[in-house]
Amino acid sequence: MSTYRAFEATGGRRFRLVEREVREPGPGDVRVRVDACGVCHSDAGTVDRPDTGTEVPIVPGHEVVGVIDAVGAGVRGWSVGERVGIGFLGGHCGQCERCRRGDFVNCADQPLTGMTTDGGYAEVVHARSSALVRMPEGLGPLEAAPLLCAGLTMYAALGKLSLRPGSLVAVQGIGGLGHLGLQYATRLGYRVAAIARGQAKEELARHLGADHYIDSTVQDPAHALRRLGGADAIIATAASGASMSGLVNGLAPQGQLVVVGVASDPVTFRTPELILGTRTISGTLTGTSIENEDNLAFSLRHGVLPMTEVMPLSQAPAAYAHMMSGQARFRVVLDATA
């Protein structure tokens, strides 16, 4: 093939289907034939940006699974034919201060897949070799794609808690992130409380491993958590700062509120809620490529799988709209081979 299809986001939630020339990867890069790409809410940063008429079109998508079909000069340890994944972080530089201190997630010169560099709403994608994630046997591309971002986000957040088995961990929001968070938290040996709006998701939450279900429309989640003894950690996945704000008071002493949901409104709290009980609020951003390999291995071993709706690449704009509508259950995945 001398050309490939790609959906460019041009701003204002508009897409343009284009044919691009297949080119050789640059030094340190690889070229990947895309098998699948997840559709993530974070894609809104590319697709929904204001249309100023001066923005360079970008191909969205950062939950990419495919096969290497070319390697650039200087690439070591990767070969044509290998199955790989590419997540949100597009490959650390290895040269900046954060990299020299081993903090690869916060690399100062790291492209963001599908946001500052072209992503996976396409048949071909290029990436730094430092971004690549080796795919384990037994995990198909349609299952694996959402784990590369949504899965890793929850896996990394829970992995940083250092809690004893049996600790009470609450997952706020049972959606694209939360439905995976319940599975990870259960497999890690925690007692799990699910927080969501309404009773419709209770059966699913319990099926995914929740020991307790808190309907935020009929009870204050913080009060409910305190009745359970207080949460040692709360992972907040909802895209609403207001809904996160009341959760601090549901933490046990030394409890942690970990924010992974991106919201446009602020999280607010009263300072005594933090000081009395020495509680903390923190954020966490995905993880490195090797941590993603750990995540996939854990997911495969313990049966952590996303609930997906699959659509062909040709329907990428409709898939994005479906995801943004909030009606998807729970991750939308583009099949680039269909």
Ordered structural domains, the chain, with CATH: 3-149+287-335 (3.90.180.10), 151-283 (3.40.50.720)
Mean pLDDT, to the nearest integer, of 61-82?
98
Q: C-alpha distances in angstroms, 53 versus 49, 115, 199? A: 11, 17, 45
53 vs 195, more confident: 195
Mean pLDDT, to the nearest integer, of 106-133?
98
Mean pLDDT, to the nearest integer, of 100-121?
97
In this structure, of 51-65, 168-182, 249-263, the range with the lowest mean pLDDT score is: 51-65
Q: What is the mean pLDDT of the chain?
A: 96
The pair of three-digit structure tokens given for residue 47, joined into one six-digit string:
């697709």
**Percent of the chain scoring above 70 in pLDDT:** 100
Mean pLDDT, to the nearest integer, of 207-214?
98
Whether the pLDDT of residue 336 is over 90: the answer is yes
Whether the pLDDT of residue 52 is over 80: the answer is no
pLDDT band at 56 (very low <50, low <70, confident <90, very high): confident
d(C-alpha 229, C-alpha 258), whole Å: 18
pLDDT band at 312 (very low <50, low <70, confident <90, very high): very high
- Helix axis angle, 178-187 relative to 289-302, nearest 10°? 70
Mean pLDDT, to the nearest integer, of 320-334?
96
Whether the pLDDT of residue 194 is over 80: the answer is yes
The pair of three-digit structure tokens given for residue 64, joined into one six-digit string:
């990419």
Chain segment 250-264, per-residue pLDDT in tens: 999 999 999 999 998
Give the pLDDT confidence score for residue 51 in this predicted structure: 79
Instruction: Write down how long the chain is.
Output: 338
Instruction: Tell me the pTM.
Output: 0.96
The pair of three-digit structure tokens given for residue 222, joined into one six-digit string:
């913080």
Whether the pLDDT of residue 54 is over 70: the answer is no
CB 316 within 8 A of CB 7: yes
Q: Which of 300, 262, 256, 304 is nearest to 282 (CA)?
A: 256
CB 196 within 8 A of CB 220: no
d(C-alpha 296, C-alpha 239), whole Å: 25
What is the sign of the dihedral through the CA atoms of 316, 322, 328 and 330? Answer: positive
Q: C-alpha distances in angstroms, 299 versus 24, 185, 210, 278, 295? A: 34, 12, 17, 33, 6
CB 10 within 8 A of CB 51: yes
Give the pLDDT confidence score for residue 300 in this predicted structure: 98
